[in-house]
A and B are shown apart, each in its own frame.
Chain A
Amino acid sequence: MAGTVACVVCEGIVKLPENCGLGEILVCADCGTELEVVGLDPVRAEEAPQVQEDWGE
């Protein structure tokens, strides 16, 4: 998937990876904020949730 989304924190332009999916995490190169893709049509991103205690592998 080509395209971009605006960072919700600094309004920097964040490129979308190929085959971008819901729940994917993007990192804003301008401010370092982790963004979560929450919509694909149109593409929307929100600040990603903080790591929870039971996260991991």
Chain B
Amino acid sequence: MSRLRILYSRLRAEEKQLAAAAEAKGIPCSLDDIRTAPWRIEPHEGDVFLARCIGHLQNTAVARLLEAGGARVVNPSRVMETCGDKLATSAALAAAGIPQPAFRTAFSEEAALEAAEELGYPVVFKPTCGSWGRLLALASNRETAEAIVEHKAHLGAAHQVFYLQSYVEKGGFDVRAFVVEGRPLCAIRRTSGHWITNTARGGRAENQPMDSELCDILGRVQTAVGGDFLAVDLFLTRLGWLVNEVNDGAEFRNSSAPTGVNIAEAVVEMASGLMKRDKRGEKRGVKRSAPESGASSPGE
């Protein structure tokens, strides 16, 4: 029997909510810790995998292994690759003409300072990979930018791709909107006295009404990035919405209560639909020839 398999490396509230929602819906489901056994590529048929590992690199790796065996993974690895790298996200948004804060990329300390001058202060330095607002740095002037750049030079190779974004005056809040199967689902407004508004950093969440302008830009983001379940972070400026980031492995524990929307339920219903489609063979041909190393993944 086909199952919904929720893969994780740290069991968070979201994974438990997803499993509970599947159980309530009568959807066969398992919670699988990816760390318990070695992985090999094997053919998969019927099961749909919700890749919910907390580390981007591990999540993408496990998705690639599963997809090589023909499995349907939510979100697909190509979507993880775009969302897990802020530069890749910005490039995808730019290619689709979706409004976003002005950004620059630089590959040397000197060029990073030049980029900051070009954008104008204040400017935000972001690691291309990372979340929860970690290692974001706001430079209000040249002296601060020089200090940040010097520190980043000592943080290893991943920080040698300098990603700088214009600081956006966002009125003390940003918006996180959820998109399931291409449809805008709900959104929260995150308010904070701090310039970083992530709820993981203490931002307060309340419901954000979904107007047509917001729904329109979310639809464009989904078309540009792809994916089954996205969380899109936006700023509302006097010129309209700007897309700040797109997340492929969204946490939503602080969003269901203020919006009144059961996000876990929406996600498992979407995944259940994929299971049915897969069973009917509508989605794609399942690769049946296992690579030589061929067998199992944890839980099997």
Contacts and interface: CB of A to CB of B under 8 A. Distances in A.
Interface in B63-93: 84
A56 B54 contact: yes
B247 A57 contact: yes
A36 B10 contact: yes
Interface residues of A, number: 16
A52 B132 CA distance: 11
Dominant secondary structure of chain B at its interface with chain A: loop
B250 A57 contact: yes
A52 B55 contact: yes
**Of A21, A52, A53, which is in contact with the most chain B CB atoms at under 10 Å from its CB?**
A53
B55 A55 contact: yes
Given A19-B16, A21-B31, A23-B33, A56 B10 contact: no
Interface string A29-57: 00000001100000000001001111111
B138 to A, nearest CB: 19
Interface in B23-66: 31, 33, 35-36, 54-57
B151 to A, nearest CB: 15
Contacts of B35: 23
B129 interface: yes
B163 interface: no
Contacts of A9: none
Contacts of A51: 134
A42 to B, nearest CB: 17
A11 interface: no
Contacts of B31: 21
B132 A22 contact: no
Given A54-B84, A56-B56, A24 B130 contact: no
Interface residues of B, number: 29
Nearest to B54: A55
Nearest to A21: B11
Interface string B272-298: 000000000000000000000000000
B131 A55 contact: yes
Nearest to B16: A19
Interface string B124-164: 00010111101000000000000000000000001000000
B30 to A, nearest CB: 11
B10 A25 contact: yes
- Shortest beta-carbon contacts, A-B, top 7: A56-B131, A23-B11, A54-B56, A24-B11, A57-B251, A56-B132, A57-B247
15 contacts: A21-B16, A23-B9, A23-B10, A23-B11, A25-B11, A25-B12, A48-B10, A51-B134, A53-B129, A54-B56, A54-B130, A55-B56, A56-B56, A56-B134, A57-B249
Given A22-B11, A55-B131, A56-B131, 20 more contacts: A19-B20, A21-B31, A23-B8, A23-B9, A25-B10, A25-B11, A25-B12, A37-B11, A52-B55, A53-B127, A53-B129, A54-B84, A54-B129, A55-B54, A55-B56, A56-B56, A56-B132, A56-B249, A57-B132, A57-B251
